[in-house]
Amino acid sequence: MKFTDGYWLYRKGFSALRPQDVSDVVVNEDALTVYAPTKRIATRGDALNLPQITVTFDAPMPDVIGVTIEHFQGGLDKGPRFEVKHDGAAPTFRVDEDSAHITSGGLTATINTSGDWGVDFFGDGRLLTSSTPRSVGVITDDQGRTFVHEQLSLGVGTNIYGLGERFGAFVKNGQSVDIWNEDGGTSSDLAYKNVPFFMTNDGYGVFVNHPELVSFEIGSEVVSRTQFSVEGQRLQYYIIHGPSPKDIIRRYTELTGRPSRIPAWSYGLWLSTSFTTDYDEKTVTSFIDGMEQRKLPLSVFHFDCHWMRSFHWSDFIWDPATFPDPEGMLQRLHDRGLKVCVWINPYIAQRSHLFREGADLGYLVKRPDGSVWQWDMWQAGMGLVDFTNADAVRWYQDKLRVLLDQGVDSFKTDFGERIPTDVAWHDGSDPQKMHNYYSQLYNRAVFDLLKKELGEGEAVVFARSATAGGQTMPVHWGGDCESTFAAMAESLRGGLSLAASGFSFWSHDIGGFEGTPEPEIFKRWIAFGLLSSHSRLHGSNSYRVPWLVDEESVEVLRHFTEQKMRLMPYLQMAAEEAYSQGIPLMRPMFLEFPEDPGCAPLDRQYMLGPDLLVAPVMNPGGEVSFYLPEGTWTHLQTGETLNGPRWHHKAYTVMDAAVWVREAAVIPIGTVSNRPDYDWGEDMEFHAFAAPDGFERRVRVPSPDGSSRVFTVRVQDGKVTATLL
């Protein structure tokens, strides 16, 4: 949100209070508080009728400093609140004649206590960013609304990344971004997954600890600063020190949560009924038979919305006309080695038998007058489950538990974005804060049920909406994209921005959701989809089995699915980094190569784990330009080598892809290509790429049961040997 008219003036109707002086500094055991009047204090009388801004500094964990800016402190905080870890580590404080200091790990905030307002944040002694004399503002408009903003200086060459799943330009400099979940597809500035966190390539990140609307002006209102603001009397944010981008992600995910472990089978290929197509058990069986006959590895079958009756979403009852024997059908699918996912959402249509039940029990969100909130978008007369009510959570989980007992293994937790604000929540939560946070409660209810019923490490959802902390409940997918090359690029930008926001596992609809993809688009998207952490064939009004596109698509799908299955030992090694450190599987180039300025803006290629560089073909004809950082890179399939740092331009058939392996990488490649959940540490062999004679490295290869094996890998006379330790 912009408040100013140019650099000096405010827009009509806006006025501002700013800290001009420091009247006092108070240090207690765990915080430093600065009291800042909004004009210079020359005499005792100047303190009368004078607003004062209170700024408190604390440190929830090493290398993280929290800043809370407040005008009036008497307001009610009705929640909800993000779950933020405090590890009990005590910061250190120092107050000098002209400044006050708080230090947490290698991060120090230095506050001017004389002269102009200013705060400098230093990481290991290097200036990271600053709050300058005009940075802090308490803004009032002519409608009586109050906002608090902070502006942090942007260094020359500093890029901003993240802020959730954003489909526009990957580097956010120059953009206005509102953190407000919406169901807007992938072709606009709206997003399903909004996260009030950004990271930089300059040693720090910022997490704004507000679940409500946070408005970012990133070098847009003031081109040399990043501004963020919220409505109200209080703003809290955390500066997170790196110094490297990976360090920032580690600390941010330690602060807000690391991903839960997910089952090995989830990495295999998912096939969907699609959305509005006609299907019944015979259709489903024909798809699975067709995959089996063509030797296409399949791990999960997904039933989209119409497994339930139209106008009844959600009642969690199989449509008896199309699925008269759901238990038998699910058992037949399990007998074929498949897992089953079904579509759900948190909305209860008026025609659903659950609507009256939920309304009578008080489990649906209400308007302030006590009536049930309803509208006709999506489902006629639908209501919304109130997940702030613990009894409603158990009620909803009980309905899903029936499906688990029938044989369902996972849920696609669709929707959860269009959450109204003219409502009264059961626990009294602030409706503005609940708009984004609803997705967290919704996915938590489902994910916790899966963990309880199926066991730790077996829970996996396919979620569309999220906010900060949502990374703890994988997997997320990119939403409704078009079936075009442009939409491929949009989807990748969204996934890379989400990865830069702390999310480790991500997928997208192979071929695009809306429309029917042309054969070349479909085949190119297959390569992209199978070179992602999770891979799903899904569409809107067209089936996505490959033989309905063309016969070559069958060959392409088989090739890339088998390749992914063989890469499972490597992918699981990368997943272990996600579980322990929060480092995503699909990584923006700058995350893996922070010292290479050529990688800073790249958004049409990525690293899959630490060692595989992937550059999807996103235009007709198969040509693609890609950038290789320093070193010798080896093509995964052909063994061709190229050198970096430099750009390359190549053409690829649909049976190949631009997948390049980093110099001296050791990749465990499985000998099983028809399923993801084999014994990776046993059924694999090591490949070393551009490694010289005498090369030696220890490699830990995980197993599906959570154990691991450690090998010493050596290269001698051009041969690779591995010794189990």
Nearest to 165 by CA among 180, 153, 150: 180
Gap between the Cα atoms of 549 and 121, Å rounded: 56
CA dihedral of residues 387, 366, 412, 266 (deg, nearest 10): -10
Q: In terms of DSSP bridges, do strands 204-208 and 197-200 run parallel, antiparallel, or are they unpaired?
A: antiparallel
DSSP assignment letter at 291: H
Q: Are strands 269-272 and 300-303 parallel, antiparallel or unpaired?
A: parallel
Beta bridge partners of 421: none
Spatial separation of the C-alpha atoms in residues 480 and 185, rounded to whole Å: 5
Structure tokens at 567: 């890469």
Measuring CA to CA, which residue among 431, 430, 413, 414 is closest to residue 422? 431
Spacing of C-alpha 360 from chain mean position: 36
Q: What are phi and psi of 50, to 5 degrees?
A: -120, 120
* Contact residues for 347 (Cβ-Cβ < 8 A; gap 6+): 313, 314, 378, 379, 382, 383, 384, 385, 415
Cα 183–Cα 185–Cα 190 angle in degrees, nearest 5: 65
Sheet holding 623-635, edge to edge: 586-587, 606-608, 612-615, 658-661, 623-635, 641-651
Distance of CA 554 to the CA centre of its chain: 31
Q: Is the peptide bond before 475 cis (omega within 30 degrees of 0)?
A: yes
The number of beta carbons lying within 10 Å of the beta carbon of residue 6 is 8
Q: How far is CA 270 from the centre of its chain?
A: 20
Of the candidates 478, 614, 517, 530, which has an alpha carbon nearest to the alpha carbon of residue 297?
530
135: how many CB neighbours lie within 10 A of its CB? 21
Residues annotated as catalytic are: 414, 417, 480
3-state helix/strand/coil string of 544-599: CCHHHCCHHHHHHHHHHHHHHHHCHHHHHHHHHHHHHHCCCCEECHHHHCCCCHHH
What size, in residues, is the chain? 725
Coil, strand or helix at 481: coil
